[in-house]
């Protein structure tokens, strides 16, 4: 048996078409949609992410602005930019690109909380996290878990009673993913670095979501026959020869696991495109 490959690019493209229609409808009523991205420092990966977000905004008709701060930016510098954007009526969504440089790591959480909850398109403020926890539908939900759920539901609409295992317990992904699956009436287990017999826990999953940042950690013998696999990991493998290309690998051993699973997301081309599409969707929701 070979698993169905879940095409995140195709599903994201359909979602982006719908978003463009929503943006056009808002514009027809005299309302623009604006997203501001704050980028602190010179992390190359962050620059690539921000570039792709800005490009996606252009395609959808969303006005995007980029606020760049140097590696030497202080906490107050970042706070001032956030407060200015909070007060700007033409900015509906604010995204602080994480992680921040090392010298701001201690204050990263308090800077995120500085963003107005109604403009928090990453869904990381305590108000939005609380709304998700309580199952209220009017908050903004983190983009990657939201996109991952859409990928799962592209394979199976009714998740009621399924056992879902999420590997990873981060505020950015693991915890919100678990909440979304609970809302779909799944039985949810969160596994992490301290979980005993993690292979056995994973083997019970009808839906297995891996988000740990460890290259090809999930092997075929961790996976139940016919499970749906969502691979959130993005691990860059250095080139095998000098001058060669580096390779992106997920947290799941794709070749082996795809012989056992019923459906699986590739890396790249799975969860990544959905994250950006859901960021645009959150921005439109915030503008509406």
Q: Using alpha carbons, select from 94, 120, 108 the residue that is nearest to residue 41.
A: 108
User: What distance, in Å, lies between the first and last C-alpha atoms of the chain?
Assistant: 45
- Catalytic status, residue 97: yes
Given the residues 22, 119, 120, 122, the one annotated as active site: 122
Q: Is residue 287 part of a domain?
A: no
Q: Is residue 126 part of a domain?
A: no
pLDDT band, very low/low/confident/very high, at 246 (cuts 50, 70, 90) = confident
Given the residues 53, 119, 131, 285, the one annotated as active site: 53
- Catalytic status, residue 53: yes
Residues 226 and 159 in one domain: yes
Q: Which domain holds residue 159?
A: 142-272
Residues 212 and 255 in one domain: yes
Phi, psi of 155 (to 5 degrees): -95, -40
| Cα–Cα dist 90/286, whole Å | 11
Number of domains the chain contains = 2
Residues 66 and 186 in one domain: no
Residues 183 and 81 in one domain: no
Q: Is residue 47 part of a domain?
A: yes
Q: Is residue 212 part of a domain?
A: yes
Q: Is residue 73 part of a domain?
A: yes
pLDDT tens track for 179-207: 999 999 999 999 999 999 999 999 999 99
The pLDDT value recorded for residue 144 is: 97
Residues 61 and 151 in one domain: no
pLDDT tens track for 71-121: 999 999 999 999 999 999 999 999 999 999 999 999 999 999 999 999 999
Given the residues 16, 97, 162, 251, the one annotated as active site: 97
Check which CATH number belongs to the domain holding 169 and give it. Answer: 3.40.50.720
- pLDDT(1) > 80: no
Q: Is residue 137 part of a domain?
A: no
Percent of the chain with pLDDT over 90: 93
């Amino acid at each position: 048996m070979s698993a169905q490959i879940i095409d995140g690019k195709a599903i994201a493209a359909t979602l982006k078409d719908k978003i463009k229609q929503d943006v056009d409808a808002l514009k027809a009523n005299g309302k623009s949609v604006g997203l501001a991205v704050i980028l602190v420092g010179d992390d190359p990966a962050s620059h690539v992410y921000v570039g792709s977000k800005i490009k996606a905004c252009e395609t959808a008709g969303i006005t995007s602005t980029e606020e760049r701060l140097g590696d030497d930016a202080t906490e107050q510098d970042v706070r001032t930019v956030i407060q200015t954007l909070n007060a700007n009526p033409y900015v509906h969504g604010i995204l602080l690109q994480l992680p921040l440089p090392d010298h701001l790591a201690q204050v990263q959480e308090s800077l995120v909380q500085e963003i107005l909850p109604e403009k928090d398109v990453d869904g990381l403020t305590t108000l939005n996290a609380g709304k998700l926890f309580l199952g209220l539908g009017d908050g903004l939900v983190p983009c990657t878990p939201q996109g991952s759920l859409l990928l799962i539901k592209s394979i199976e609409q009714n998740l009621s009673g399924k056992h879902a295992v999420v590997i990873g317990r981060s505020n950015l992904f693991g915890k919100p993913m678990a909440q979304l699956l609970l809302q779909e009436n799944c039985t949810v287990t969160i596994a992490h670095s301290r979980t005993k017999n993690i292979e056995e826990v994973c083997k019970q999953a009808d839906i297995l979501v891996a988000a740990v940042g460890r290259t090809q950690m999930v092997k075929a013998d961790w996976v139940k026959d016919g499970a749906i696999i969502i691979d959130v990991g993005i691990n860059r493998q250095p080139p095998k020869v000098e001058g060669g290309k580096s390779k992106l690998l997920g947290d799941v051993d794709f070749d082996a696991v795809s012989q056992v699973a019923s459906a699986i997301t590739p890396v790249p081309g799975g969860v990544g495109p959905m994250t950006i599409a859901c960021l645009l969707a959150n921005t439109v929701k915030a503008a509406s």
